[in-house]
Amino acid sequence: MNKDFWRGKRVLITGNTGFKGSWLSRILLDTGAEVFGYALENDDEYGVFNAIGLDKEMSCRYGDICDEGKLSEAIKGSDPEIVFHLAAQPIVLKGYEDPVYTYRTNVMGTVTLLNALRDRSGLRSVVNVTTDKVYENNDNGVSFRESDRLGGYDPYSGSKACSELVTSTFVSSFFNPVQYGISHNAAVATARAGNVIGGGDNAPDRIIPDCIRAVRNGEAVKLRNPYSIRPWQHVLEPLALYIMLAEKLYENGTEYSGAYNVGPREEDCLTVIDVVKKLGQNFPSLVYELPENAPETDLHEAKKLILDTGKISEKLGFVNKWGIDECIGNTALWYRAQLDGEDMVKVTDKMIKEYFEI
Ligand SMILES: NC(=O)c1ccc[n+]([C@@H]2O[C@H](COP(=O)([O-])OP(=O)(O)OC[C@H]3O[C@@H](n4cnc5c(N)ncnc54)[C@H](O)[C@@H]3O)[C@@H](O)[C@H]2O)c1
Protein backbone atom coordinates (compact mmCIF):
# COMPACT_ATOMS: atom_id res chain seq x y z
CA MET A 1 0.00 0.00 0.00
CA ASN A 2 1.21 3.46 -0.90
CA LYS A 3 0.53 5.38 2.32
CA ASP A 4 1.33 8.72 0.65
CA PHE A 5 -1.35 8.09 -1.96
CA TRP A 6 -4.03 7.73 0.71
CA ARG A 7 -3.17 10.71 2.89
CA GLY A 8 -6.05 13.22 2.65
CA LYS A 9 -8.07 11.18 0.13
CA ARG A 10 -11.85 11.31 0.67
CA VAL A 11 -13.08 7.73 0.90
CA LEU A 12 -16.62 6.41 1.40
CA ILE A 13 -17.05 2.86 2.70
CA THR A 14 -20.51 1.33 2.66
CA GLY A 15 -20.82 -1.40 5.28
CA ASN A 16 -18.22 0.28 7.49
CA THR A 17 -19.85 -1.06 10.66
CA GLY A 18 -19.30 -4.68 9.60
CA PHE A 19 -16.33 -6.99 9.89
CA LYS A 20 -14.45 -6.17 6.68
CA GLY A 21 -15.64 -2.56 6.53
CA SER A 22 -14.31 -1.89 10.04
CA TRP A 23 -10.85 -3.29 9.28
CA LEU A 24 -10.77 -1.36 6.00
CA SER A 25 -11.79 1.85 7.79
CA ARG A 26 -9.06 1.40 10.39
CA ILE A 27 -6.36 0.74 7.78
CA LEU A 28 -7.29 3.85 5.81
CA LEU A 29 -7.60 6.00 8.95
CA ASP A 30 -4.07 4.87 9.82
CA THR A 31 -2.85 6.26 6.46
CA GLY A 32 -4.38 9.70 7.10
CA ALA A 33 -7.27 9.32 4.64
CA GLU A 34 -10.58 11.08 5.37
CA VAL A 35 -12.85 8.09 5.87
CA PHE A 36 -16.66 8.26 5.77
CA GLY A 37 -19.04 5.39 6.36
CA TYR A 38 -22.61 4.48 5.49
CA ALA A 39 -24.22 1.38 6.97
CA LEU A 40 -26.73 0.09 9.48
CA GLU A 41 -26.00 0.78 13.12
CA ASN A 42 -24.06 -1.89 14.97
CA ASP A 43 -24.46 -2.39 18.72
CA ASP A 44 -22.59 -5.68 18.89
CA GLU A 45 -20.00 -5.32 21.65
CA TYR A 46 -17.82 -8.16 20.32
CA GLY A 47 -17.63 -7.05 16.68
CA VAL A 48 -14.52 -5.16 15.59
CA PHE A 49 -16.42 -1.89 14.94
CA ASN A 50 -17.25 -1.34 18.62
CA ALA A 51 -14.21 -3.21 19.95
CA ILE A 52 -11.98 -0.49 18.45
CA GLY A 53 -14.42 2.43 18.95
CA LEU A 54 -14.65 3.29 15.25
CA ASP A 55 -17.81 5.37 15.69
CA LYS A 56 -15.63 8.00 17.40
CA GLU A 57 -12.80 7.79 14.85
CA MET A 58 -14.66 8.26 11.58
CA SER A 59 -17.63 10.09 10.17
CA CYS A 60 -20.51 7.59 10.12
CA ARG A 61 -23.99 7.98 8.67
CA TYR A 62 -26.57 5.32 9.37
CA GLY A 63 -29.29 4.15 7.02
CA ASP A 64 -30.45 1.46 4.64
CA ILE A 65 -28.39 1.10 1.47
CA CYS A 66 -31.65 1.25 -0.53
CA ASP A 67 -32.72 4.55 1.09
CA GLU A 68 -32.00 6.90 -1.82
CA GLY A 69 -32.44 10.08 0.22
CA LYS A 70 -30.14 9.15 3.09
CA LEU A 71 -27.54 7.58 0.86
CA SER A 72 -27.45 10.66 -1.42
CA GLU A 73 -26.99 12.89 1.61
CA ALA A 74 -24.09 10.73 2.80
CA ILE A 75 -22.52 10.89 -0.66
CA LYS A 76 -22.96 14.66 -0.95
CA GLY A 77 -21.63 15.13 2.57
CA SER A 78 -18.51 13.09 1.93
CA ASP A 79 -17.95 14.00 -1.76
CA PRO A 80 -15.89 10.81 -2.21
CA GLU A 81 -13.05 10.33 -4.63
CA ILE A 82 -12.98 6.62 -3.82
CA VAL A 83 -15.88 4.33 -2.87
CA PHE A 84 -15.69 0.80 -1.48
CA HIS A 85 -19.08 -0.94 -1.55
CA LEU A 86 -19.28 -3.59 1.17
CA ALA A 87 -22.80 -3.10 2.56
CA ALA A 88 -24.65 -6.35 2.03
CA GLN A 89 -26.61 -9.16 3.59
CA PRO A 90 -23.60 -11.53 3.49
CA ILE A 91 -24.83 -14.73 5.17
CA VAL A 92 -25.75 -17.76 3.03
CA LEU A 93 -28.21 -19.22 5.57
CA LYS A 94 -29.94 -15.86 6.08
CA GLY A 95 -30.33 -15.73 2.31
CA TYR A 96 -32.43 -18.91 2.52
CA GLU A 97 -34.46 -17.49 5.42
CA ASP A 98 -35.12 -14.12 3.85
CA PRO A 99 -34.42 -14.11 0.11
CA VAL A 100 -36.41 -10.93 -0.51
CA TYR A 101 -34.35 -8.89 1.96
CA THR A 102 -31.15 -10.47 0.65
CA TYR A 103 -31.90 -9.63 -2.98
CA ARG A 104 -33.17 -6.16 -2.08
CA THR A 105 -30.06 -5.29 -0.09
CA ASN A 106 -27.50 -6.88 -2.37
CA VAL A 107 -28.99 -6.05 -5.74
CA MET A 108 -31.04 -2.87 -5.25
CA GLY A 109 -28.39 -1.68 -2.78
CA THR A 110 -25.82 -1.79 -5.59
CA VAL A 111 -28.24 -0.12 -8.00
CA THR A 112 -29.05 2.65 -5.49
CA LEU A 113 -25.40 3.31 -4.74
CA LEU A 114 -24.16 3.36 -8.33
CA ASN A 115 -27.09 5.51 -9.38
CA ALA A 116 -26.34 8.02 -6.61
CA LEU A 117 -22.69 8.14 -7.73
CA ARG A 118 -23.48 9.01 -11.35
CA ASP A 119 -23.30 12.78 -10.96
CA ARG A 120 -20.14 12.88 -8.77
CA SER A 121 -17.53 14.53 -10.93
CA GLY A 122 -14.84 14.11 -8.23
CA LEU A 123 -15.32 10.33 -8.16
CA ARG A 124 -12.29 8.37 -9.45
CA SER A 125 -12.49 4.77 -8.16
CA VAL A 126 -15.29 2.41 -7.21
CA VAL A 127 -14.64 -1.09 -5.87
CA ASN A 128 -17.71 -3.30 -5.49
CA VAL A 129 -17.02 -6.20 -3.14
CA THR A 130 -18.79 -9.40 -4.18
CA THR A 131 -17.76 -12.99 -3.50
CA ASP A 132 -16.29 -16.22 -4.88
CA LYS A 133 -19.85 -17.61 -4.72
CA VAL A 134 -20.91 -15.65 -7.83
CA TYR A 135 -19.84 -18.49 -10.14
CA GLU A 136 -22.01 -21.29 -11.43
CA ASN A 137 -20.56 -24.12 -9.37
CA ASN A 138 -21.05 -27.73 -10.44
CA ASP A 139 -18.75 -29.00 -7.69
CA ASN A 140 -16.38 -30.45 -10.30
CA GLY A 141 -13.30 -29.20 -8.49
CA VAL A 142 -12.19 -26.77 -11.20
CA SER A 143 -10.93 -23.39 -10.01
CA PHE A 144 -12.90 -20.40 -11.26
CA ARG A 145 -11.57 -17.69 -13.57
CA GLU A 146 -13.07 -14.22 -13.85
CA SER A 147 -14.42 -15.04 -17.32
CA ASP A 148 -16.36 -18.08 -16.07
CA ARG A 149 -20.13 -18.14 -16.15
CA LEU A 150 -21.89 -16.46 -13.24
CA GLY A 151 -24.60 -18.34 -11.40
CA GLY A 152 -25.39 -18.69 -7.75
CA TYR A 153 -27.18 -21.72 -6.36
CA ASP A 154 -28.62 -20.03 -3.28
CA PRO A 155 -30.19 -16.57 -2.82
CA TYR A 156 -27.05 -14.97 -1.33
CA SER A 157 -24.83 -16.22 -4.14
CA GLY A 158 -27.41 -15.32 -6.79
CA SER A 159 -27.85 -11.85 -5.37
CA LYS A 160 -24.10 -11.23 -5.51
CA ALA A 161 -23.96 -12.51 -9.10
CA CYS A 162 -26.74 -9.98 -9.83
CA SER A 163 -24.66 -7.28 -8.14
CA GLU A 164 -21.88 -8.10 -10.62
CA LEU A 165 -24.33 -7.78 -13.49
CA VAL A 166 -25.67 -4.47 -12.15
CA THR A 167 -22.11 -3.16 -11.95
CA SER A 168 -21.36 -4.22 -15.49
CA THR A 169 -24.57 -2.56 -16.73
CA PHE A 170 -23.80 0.70 -14.90
CA VAL A 171 -20.30 0.70 -16.33
CA SER A 172 -21.51 0.36 -19.91
CA SER A 173 -24.41 2.79 -19.41
CA PHE A 174 -23.02 5.49 -17.14
CA PHE A 175 -19.29 4.96 -16.48
CA ASN A 176 -18.35 3.80 -19.94
CA PRO A 177 -14.58 3.70 -20.58
CA VAL A 178 -15.14 5.53 -23.88
CA GLN A 179 -16.59 8.47 -21.93
CA TYR A 180 -13.83 8.46 -19.30
CA GLY A 181 -12.52 11.99 -18.79
CA ILE A 182 -15.44 13.37 -20.84
CA SER A 183 -18.76 12.72 -19.08
CA HIS A 184 -17.29 11.06 -15.95
CA ASN A 185 -13.95 10.47 -14.23
CA ALA A 186 -14.62 7.13 -12.57
CA ALA A 187 -13.22 3.66 -13.11
CA VAL A 188 -15.13 0.75 -11.59
CA ALA A 189 -14.09 -2.78 -10.60
CA THR A 190 -15.52 -5.72 -8.70
CA ALA A 191 -13.56 -8.01 -6.37
CA ARG A 192 -14.60 -11.59 -5.68
CA ALA A 193 -13.10 -12.79 -2.42
CA GLY A 194 -13.17 -16.21 -0.81
CA ASN A 195 -13.90 -17.01 2.81
CA VAL A 196 -12.38 -14.37 4.99
CA ILE A 197 -11.43 -14.82 8.61
CA GLY A 198 -9.90 -12.49 11.16
CA GLY A 199 -10.48 -10.94 14.54
CA GLY A 200 -13.75 -9.25 15.39
CA ASP A 201 -16.11 -11.08 13.07
CA ASN A 202 -19.13 -11.97 15.17
CA ALA A 203 -21.59 -12.78 12.38
CA PRO A 204 -23.93 -15.76 12.81
CA ASP A 205 -23.40 -18.98 10.84
CA ARG A 206 -19.75 -18.40 10.05
CA ILE A 207 -17.37 -20.99 11.31
CA ILE A 208 -14.74 -18.90 13.17
CA PRO A 209 -17.28 -16.64 14.95
CA ASP A 210 -19.30 -19.79 15.78
CA CYS A 211 -16.15 -21.30 17.35
CA ILE A 212 -15.32 -18.18 19.36
CA ARG A 213 -18.91 -17.86 20.63
CA ALA A 214 -18.73 -21.53 21.67
CA VAL A 215 -15.49 -20.86 23.58
CA ARG A 216 -17.03 -17.76 25.22
CA ASN A 217 -20.15 -19.70 26.25
CA GLY A 218 -18.38 -22.93 27.21
CA GLU A 219 -20.31 -24.92 24.58
CA ALA A 220 -19.44 -27.23 21.69
CA VAL A 221 -19.54 -25.80 18.18
CA LYS A 222 -21.70 -27.71 15.69
CA LEU A 223 -20.03 -28.14 12.29
CA ARG A 224 -22.54 -28.05 9.42
CA ASN A 225 -20.27 -29.01 6.51
CA PRO A 226 -17.04 -30.26 8.08
CA TYR A 227 -15.53 -31.65 4.88
CA SER A 228 -16.25 -28.71 2.56
CA ILE A 229 -13.08 -27.14 1.18
CA ARG A 230 -12.89 -23.35 1.29
CA PRO A 231 -10.37 -20.68 0.21
CA TRP A 232 -9.58 -19.22 3.65
CA GLN A 233 -7.82 -15.90 3.90
CA HIS A 234 -7.02 -13.43 6.62
CA VAL A 235 -9.21 -10.33 6.24
CA LEU A 236 -6.16 -8.14 5.57
CA GLU A 237 -5.41 -10.02 2.32
CA PRO A 238 -8.56 -9.11 0.34
CA LEU A 239 -8.53 -5.64 1.91
CA ALA A 240 -4.99 -5.14 0.62
CA LEU A 241 -6.23 -6.13 -2.82
CA TYR A 242 -9.24 -3.75 -2.67
CA ILE A 243 -6.87 -0.95 -1.64
CA MET A 244 -4.41 -1.74 -4.42
CA LEU A 245 -7.24 -1.89 -6.95
CA ALA A 246 -8.66 1.48 -5.84
CA GLU A 247 -5.20 3.05 -6.22
CA LYS A 248 -4.76 1.60 -9.72
CA LEU A 249 -8.24 2.71 -10.81
CA TYR A 250 -7.55 6.19 -9.48
CA GLU A 251 -4.17 6.57 -11.12
CA ASN A 252 -4.63 4.67 -14.37
CA GLY A 253 -8.36 4.86 -14.98
CA THR A 254 -10.38 2.27 -16.82
CA GLU A 255 -7.38 0.12 -17.76
CA TYR A 256 -8.01 -1.64 -14.44
CA SER A 257 -11.83 -1.84 -14.62
CA GLY A 258 -13.38 -5.29 -14.53
CA ALA A 259 -13.65 -8.24 -12.16
CA TYR A 260 -10.89 -9.71 -9.99
CA ASN A 261 -10.75 -12.92 -7.99
CA VAL A 262 -8.93 -12.72 -4.70
CA GLY A 263 -8.11 -15.86 -2.78
CA PRO A 264 -5.36 -17.88 -1.13
CA ARG A 265 -2.80 -20.22 -2.65
CA GLU A 266 -4.26 -23.61 -3.47
CA GLU A 267 -2.36 -25.30 -0.59
CA ASP A 268 -4.09 -22.92 1.84
CA CYS A 269 -7.57 -24.12 0.84
CA LEU A 270 -8.58 -26.46 3.67
CA THR A 271 -11.64 -28.29 4.90
CA VAL A 272 -13.76 -26.66 7.59
CA ILE A 273 -12.75 -29.33 10.11
CA ASP A 274 -9.03 -28.78 9.48
CA VAL A 275 -9.45 -25.07 10.11
CA VAL A 276 -11.35 -25.71 13.33
CA LYS A 277 -8.59 -28.09 14.48
CA LYS A 278 -5.94 -25.47 13.75
CA LEU A 279 -7.91 -22.84 15.64
CA GLY A 280 -8.27 -25.29 18.51
CA GLN A 281 -4.47 -25.29 18.93
CA ASN A 282 -4.89 -21.70 20.19
CA PHE A 283 -8.10 -22.36 22.15
CA PRO A 284 -7.72 -25.64 24.03
CA SER A 285 -11.31 -25.39 25.34
CA LEU A 286 -12.72 -25.46 21.79
CA VAL A 287 -14.84 -28.59 21.31
CA TYR A 288 -16.73 -29.45 18.12
CA GLU A 289 -19.62 -31.74 17.19
CA LEU A 290 -19.98 -33.42 13.80
CA PRO A 291 -23.39 -33.73 12.10
CA GLU A 292 -25.11 -37.01 13.05
CA ASN A 293 -26.02 -38.52 9.69
CA ALA A 294 -25.04 -36.83 6.48
CA PRO A 295 -21.93 -34.71 6.26
CA GLU A 296 -24.10 -31.88 4.89
CA THR A 297 -27.38 -30.19 5.72
CA ASP A 298 -30.16 -30.18 3.13
CA LEU A 299 -29.38 -26.55 2.46
CA HIS A 300 -26.89 -26.64 -0.37
CA GLU A 301 -23.44 -25.18 0.10
CA ALA A 302 -20.73 -25.94 -2.45
CA LYS A 303 -18.34 -28.72 -1.38
CA LYS A 304 -15.35 -27.22 -3.08
CA LEU A 305 -14.79 -23.66 -4.13
CA ILE A 306 -11.38 -22.65 -5.40
CA LEU A 307 -10.48 -19.48 -7.25
CA ASP A 308 -7.92 -18.98 -9.97
CA THR A 309 -6.07 -15.84 -8.85
CA GLY A 310 -3.72 -15.54 -11.84
CA LYS A 311 -5.23 -12.21 -12.91
CA ILE A 312 -4.41 -10.34 -9.69
CA SER A 313 -0.84 -11.56 -9.72
CA GLU A 314 -0.29 -10.93 -13.44
CA LYS A 315 -2.19 -7.67 -13.89
CA LEU A 316 -1.81 -6.06 -10.46
CA GLY A 317 1.31 -7.77 -9.12
CA PHE A 318 -0.61 -8.79 -6.01
CA VAL A 319 1.02 -11.44 -3.83
CA ASN A 320 -0.61 -13.10 -0.83
CA LYS A 321 1.37 -12.49 2.30
CA TRP A 322 0.05 -14.83 4.96
CA GLY A 323 -0.35 -18.58 4.51
CA ILE A 324 -3.01 -20.54 6.37
CA ASP A 325 -1.02 -20.85 9.62
CA GLU A 326 -0.38 -17.10 9.90
CA CYS A 327 -3.97 -16.46 8.86
CA ILE A 328 -5.39 -18.63 11.64
CA GLY A 329 -2.67 -17.62 14.12
CA ASN A 330 -3.40 -13.89 13.70
CA THR A 331 -7.13 -14.51 13.88
CA ALA A 332 -6.70 -16.42 17.14
CA LEU A 333 -4.35 -13.75 18.50
CA TRP A 334 -6.99 -11.01 18.04
CA TYR A 335 -9.81 -13.01 19.69
CA ARG A 336 -7.52 -14.16 22.49
CA ALA A 337 -6.54 -10.52 23.21
CA GLN A 338 -10.21 -9.55 23.28
CA LEU A 339 -11.04 -12.39 25.70
CA ASP A 340 -8.12 -11.24 27.87
CA GLY A 341 -9.40 -7.63 27.93
CA GLU A 342 -6.46 -6.08 26.06
CA ASP A 343 -6.50 -2.67 24.31
CA MET A 344 -8.00 -3.74 20.97
CA VAL A 345 -7.04 -0.56 19.12
CA LYS A 346 -3.38 -1.32 19.85
CA VAL A 347 -3.77 -4.99 18.92
CA THR A 348 -5.54 -4.10 15.66
CA ASP A 349 -3.10 -1.34 14.68
CA LYS A 350 -0.11 -3.59 15.42
CA MET A 351 -1.49 -6.28 13.11
CA ILE A 352 -2.16 -3.73 10.37
CA LYS A 353 1.38 -2.34 10.71
CA GLU A 354 2.89 -5.81 10.53
CA TYR A 355 0.88 -6.79 7.46
CA PHE A 356 1.34 -3.57 5.47
CA GLU A 357 4.79 -2.76 6.84
CA ILE A 358 3.70 0.85 7.48
N1 LIG B 1 -16.72 -12.25 5.33
C2 LIG B 1 -16.52 -13.03 4.27
O3 LIG B 1 -16.05 -14.18 4.37
C4 LIG B 1 -16.83 -12.51 2.91
C5 LIG B 1 -16.38 -13.25 1.79
C6 LIG B 1 -16.64 -12.75 0.51
C7 LIG B 1 -17.33 -11.57 0.35
N8 LIG B 1 -17.78 -10.88 1.44
C9 LIG B 1 -18.50 -9.62 1.19
O10 LIG B 1 -17.83 -8.58 1.90
C11 LIG B 1 -18.77 -7.60 2.31
C12 LIG B 1 -18.64 -7.35 3.80
O13 LIG B 1 -18.90 -8.56 4.49
P14 LIG B 1 -18.69 -8.69 6.05
O15 LIG B 1 -18.18 -10.04 6.29
O16 LIG B 1 -17.94 -7.53 6.56
O17 LIG B 1 -20.21 -8.62 6.56
P18 LIG B 1 -20.83 -7.96 7.88
O19 LIG B 1 -22.17 -8.57 8.07
O20 LIG B 1 -19.88 -7.99 8.99
O21 LIG B 1 -21.03 -6.44 7.45
C22 LIG B 1 -22.05 -6.06 6.56
C23 LIG B 1 -22.13 -4.54 6.54
O24 LIG B 1 -23.18 -4.18 5.63
C25 LIG B 1 -24.09 -3.35 6.31
N26 LIG B 1 -25.45 -3.61 5.84
C27 LIG B 1 -26.11 -4.79 5.83
N28 LIG B 1 -27.35 -4.61 5.36
C29 LIG B 1 -27.46 -3.28 5.07
C30 LIG B 1 -28.49 -2.47 4.58
N31 LIG B 1 -29.69 -2.98 4.26
N32 LIG B 1 -28.27 -1.15 4.43
C33 LIG B 1 -27.06 -0.60 4.76
N34 LIG B 1 -26.05 -1.33 5.23
C35 LIG B 1 -26.24 -2.65 5.38
C36 LIG B 1 -23.99 -3.69 7.78
O37 LIG B 1 -24.48 -2.62 8.57
C38 LIG B 1 -22.50 -3.92 7.88
O39 LIG B 1 -21.85 -2.67 8.04
C40 LIG B 1 -20.13 -8.11 1.88
O41 LIG B 1 -20.47 -7.51 0.66
C42 LIG B 1 -19.92 -9.60 1.70
O43 LIG B 1 -20.82 -10.15 0.80
C44 LIG B 1 -17.54 -11.32 2.71
What local confidence, expressed as pLDDT, does residue 300 receive? 57
Strand, coil or helix: 260: strand
Q: Atom 34 in ligand 1: which residue has the minimum CA distance?
A: 39
* Residue 129 beta carbon below 6 angstroms from any ligand 1 atom: yes
Task: Output the residue whose Cα is nearest ligand 1's atom 7.
Answer: 131
Q: Quick check: 110 and 163 in contact, CB under 8 A?
A: yes
Asked whether 197 lines ligand 1 (CB < 6 A), one says: no
- Per-residue pLDDT 10s for the chain (358 aa) are 999 999 999 999 999 999 999 999 999 999 999 999 999 999 999 999 999 999 999 999 999 999 999 999 999 999 999 999 999 999 999 999 999 999 999 999 999 999 999 999 999 999 999 999 999 987 777 789 999 999 989 999 999 999 999 999 999 999 999 999 999 999 999 999 988 999 999 998 899 999 999 999 999 999 988 988 888 999 999 999 999 999 999 999 999 999 999 999 888 889 999 999 999 999 999 999 998 765 544 455 555 678 899 999 999 999 999 999 999 999 999 999 999 999 999 999 999 999 998 8
pLDDT of residue 302: 58
Distance CA 352, CA 72 (A): 31
**Do the beta carbons of residue 28 and residue 11 sit within 8 Å?**
yes
| Whole-number pLDDT of residue 139 | 74
CA distance 294 to 113: 42
Question: Taking Cα atoms as reference points, which of 274, 289, 262, 273 lies closest to residue 325?
Answer: 274
Write the residue with the smallest CA distance to atom 26 of ligand 1.
Answer: 87
Closest CA to 177 of 168, 187, 167: 187
Give pTM, 2 decimals: 0.95
Distance 48 CA to ligand 1 centre (A): 13
**Cβ 190 under 6 angstroms from ligand 1:** no
Question: Does the C-beta of 17 come closer than 6 Å to ligand 1?
Answer: yes
pLDDT at residue number 297: 47
CA of 156, closest atom in ligand 1? 43
Percentage of the chain surpassing pLDDT 90? 87
Q: What is the pLDDT of residues 276-335, one digit of tens each?
A: 999 999 999 999 999 876 554 445 555 567 889 999 999 999 999 999 999 999 999 999
> Residue with the nearest Cα to atom 37 of ligand 1?
40
CATH of domain 3-356: 3.40.50.720
322 vs 268: CA distance, rounded Å? 10
Give the rounded distance of the alpha carbon of 63 from its chain centre.
19
The confidence score (pLDDT) of residue 224 equals: 87
The pLDDT value given to residue 62: 98
Output the CA 146–ligand 1 centroid distance in Å. 22
Can you give the residue ranges of every domain in the chain? 3-356
Distance (Å) from CA 83 to ligand 1 centroid? 15
Measure 76 CA to ligand 1 centroid, in angstroms: 23
pLDDT of residue 138: 77
Determine which residue's CA is closest to atom 5 belonging to ligand 1. Answer: 195
**Residue 358 and residue 236: Cα distance in Å, rounded?**
13
Report CA(65)–ligand 1 centroid distance (Å): 11
